[in-house]
Amino acid sequence: MSGDDASASRASPAGAGDARPPAASGRPPVAAVPRGPVAVPALVRRTLPGRELVPVWVNQVGGTTWRAEDAAGPGLHAKWAPAGSGLDLDAEAERLGWLAGRTPVPAVEALVRDDAGALLVTRTLPGRSAVDPRWLADPVRAVTAVGAGLRALHDALPVDACPWTWSAQDRLARVRPDVDDDVRAELARTPDVDRLVVCHGDACMPNTLLAEDGTCSAHVDVGALGVGDRWADLAVASWSTAWNVGPGYEDLLLEAYGVERDAVRVAYYRALWDAGP
């Protein structure tokens, strides 16, 4: 069965920042906290009957994430990916399973699908995203927590035991078809690896949860996690401070991580990110 619930659900209060800069290459608009009603996919309603569904995020490929409240049971989050969107929730569920006990991430409750899409249900973690209005109002603390949280993630995860890669070489094979030849030629000149770590794969501010004391409490959105140069994450994490907070915070993130800015690797991994699917 497919289709959307006719009754759209109200978004949570507006105010949190956008996740991405306005997209190039004809990609859909930015991912963001929804500011109006969002249609509830039938699979979400069917999988979580009786729960109040609050839309908390709409991504660039039309996927939606819901907070599913139930006074009697544990809080859940439900991430829905439309069929054909390229969002791989199987990959995310596998990585969440591998990460459990190694670093704080949501526990997987269910992974289901129908003709219209797939749905990953996880236990709600305490804390708020680093782009929650609470943290956007305290950007120094938020950016510091994201940098320190990324360092903690990299330090915690064993490269040798990680089954996935996010190397530049592998990502070069997935560069979008519309990317110009001169950009491809630049990307073919990959800098030497500075330090191999298990990269988050989308280490932007919205994917970092912060506890009430302003420290990083968990990471979400780990579908691309894999072994790569730490600058692949650092380039995107520092860039996301500009998208989400504004100019002037990139070096604070790097300082909180504990590294000096490497301008060449930052530029390379941002270009690779921009050329990706």
**Residue in this structure with the two tokens 């973690």, named with its chain if needed:** 125
User: By C-alpha distance, which of 252, 259, 189 is closest to 231?
Assistant: 259
Could you count the other beta carbons within 10 Å of the beta carbon of residue 80?
27
Residues 103 and 88: beta-carbon distance below 8 Å: no
Cα separation of 50 and 226, whole Å? 37
Binding residue for ligand ATP (CB under 6 A) from 41, 57, 197, 217? 57
From 4, 181, 182, 202, the catalytic residue:
202
For ligand ATP, the binding residue among 41, 104, 106, 201 (CB under 6 A) is 106
Residue 63's binding partner among Mg ion, ligand ATP, none (Cβ under 5 to 8 angstroms by kind) is ligand ATP
Please give the structure tokens belonging to residue 25: 């290459």
Half-sphere exposure of 181 (CA within 13 A, CB side): 0
CB of 155 to ligand ATP, least distance (A): 22
Provide Rg for the chain, Cα atoms.
18
What character string, x for contact with Mg ion (CB under 5 A) and - otherwise, covers 31-70? Answer: ----------------------------------------
Q: How many residues bind ligand ATP (CB under 6 A)?
A: 20
Binding mask 176-215 for Mg ion (x = CB under 5 A): -------------------------------x--------
Active site residue 202: yes
Show the site string, 24-53: x = touches ligand ATP by CB under 6 A, - = not: -------x----------------------
User: Quick check: 221 binds Mg ion (CB under 5 A)?
Assistant: yes
Distance CA 124, CA 119 (A): 15
